[in-house]
Amino acid sequence: MIRLEHFYVVLGAMMAVAAVMSLRDAANPKRYSTSLFWALYALVYLGGDVMAPALAGLIMVSMALIAGFGGVSLGSYGSLAKEERAVSARRLGHRLFIPALIIPVVTMIGSTLLKDVKIGAMPLLDPKHLTIVSLGCASLLAVGVACAMTRSTPVQGMREWRRLADAMGWAVVLPHMLAVLGLLFAEAGVGKAVAHITTTYINMDSRLVAVAVFCVGMALFTIIMGNGFAAFPVMAGGVGIPILVGVYGANPAVMAAIGMFSAYCGTLMTPMAANFNIVPVALLELPDKNAVIKAQIPTALPLLVANIFLLYFLMGHK
């Protein structure tokens, strides 16, 4: 059976290779700290199952410190000259899109047509993580096809992956840390604190005010934490469930759906959502680090207002 853990090993191996390449890259002015960053990350993926939680936390904090102090830097990646890339692009034409298209197509096939396929009594793909495992298989297949089409080697593919990963830097780690932030806030009682503050200092006798507090709170907590899924347990526990559902009889499904839409408005306006707002800037080498956010704010704010009114009028619908 192809399991999710197999792809953890693949990712860990890729990061270990990146660490070695960085260490040997004399053109990188910070090759030792860059190598250490990727080596620590590889250790988390390769040994996470047997690693003590405190050690894993220490490693992640160390990585954050390395990246935060500018320890991850760009080096030399053995890329083809611009003229050679142009010639290759003209030769391949629209076929360049084939590897990119392989990923969604194979992921869909694995998630639907192959979900019941078994080898003996064992399923071919891990049923607990079917879509992610299918995505992993699709990605590996796409890399193989890309190498065959471009007449390149997996080593060159690793060089290009390291170039993109170095360009993203600390943003690679941020989603992992934010993924558990909402749970930590919930365990720390932040939801109860939010409920106390809102009910004490804001008049919740008005349904419109309660809806506005919930939607704006979802956006604000997402701006702070960079992740709508991290913001949801805080605002749902503080306002959504006890007030909107408990007092005003809101449909929980409607409350949750429009609440997440409000959170996504916050995603558009924060550098903490690094994979959406910082990574594209780094990859495109834009001069303004906040260019994506500035372009999205005029869309995010009207959408947030629209979500407030949508929840106000639709919250009672079943």
pLDDT digits 0-9 by tens, 225-247:
877 877 888 888 889 999 999 99
Please indicate, yes or no, whether residues 261 and 310 belong to a single structural domain of this protein.
Answer: yes
Distance of alpha carbon 231 from alpha carbon 225, whole angstroms: 7
Number of domains in the chain: 2
Please indicate, yes or no, whether residues 212 and 100 belong to a single structural domain of this protein.
Answer: no
Please indicate, yes or no, whether residues 113 and 133 belong to a single structural domain of this protein.
Answer: yes
Which pLDDT belongs to residue 173?
73
Which pLDDT belongs to residue 289?
83
Hey, which of 72-86, 152-166, 183-197 has the most confident mean pLDDT? 152-166
Please indicate, yes or no, whether residues 142 and 188 belong to a single structural domain of this protein.
Answer: no
Q: Looking at the predicted structure, is the pLDDT value of residue 145 above 80?
A: yes
Please indicate, yes or no, whether residues 53 and 80 belong to a single structural domain of this protein.
Answer: yes
Q: How confident is the model at residue 157 (pLDDT cuts 50, 70, 90)?
A: confident
Hey, which of 93-102, 113-122, 144-153, 298-307 has the most confident mean pLDDT? 298-307
Asked which of 136, 152, 171 is the last residue of a domain, the reply is: 171
Please indicate, yes or no, whether residues 4 and 135 belong to a single structural domain of this protein.
Answer: yes
Asked which of 120, 153, 171 is the last residue of a domain, the reply is: 171
Q: How confident is the model at residue 277 (pLDDT cuts 50, 70, 90)?
A: confident
Please indicate, yes or no, whether residues 211 and 160 belong to a single structural domain of this protein.
Answer: no
Which pLDDT belongs to residue 217?
92
Which pLDDT belongs to residue 167?
74
Q: What percent of the chain has pLDDT over 90?
A: 35
Q: What is the pTM of this model?
A: 0.69
Asked which of 171, 190, 220 is the last residue of a domain, the reply is: 171
Please indicate, yes or no, whether residues 27 and 156 belong to a single structural domain of this protein.
Answer: yes
Instruction: For 143-157, give one letter per residue: b (16+ CB within 10 A) or e.
Output: beebbeebeeeeebb
Contact 75, 25 (CB under 8 A): yes
Please indicate, yes or no, whether residues 151 and 19 belong to a single structural domain of this protein.
Answer: yes
Please indicate, yes or no, whether residues 121 and 205 belong to a single structural domain of this protein.
Answer: no
Please indicate, yes or no, whether residues 71 and 185 belong to a single structural domain of this protein.
Answer: no
Please indicate, yes or no, whether residues 92 and 228 belong to a single structural domain of this protein.
Answer: no
Q: How confident is the model at residue 196 (pLDDT cuts 50, 70, 90)?
A: confident
If phi > 0 it is left, if psi is from -120 to 50 it is alpha, else beta; for residue 119 that is beta
Q: Looking at the predicted structure, is the pLDDT value of residue 283 above 80?
A: no
Q: Which domain holds residue 304?
A: 176-314
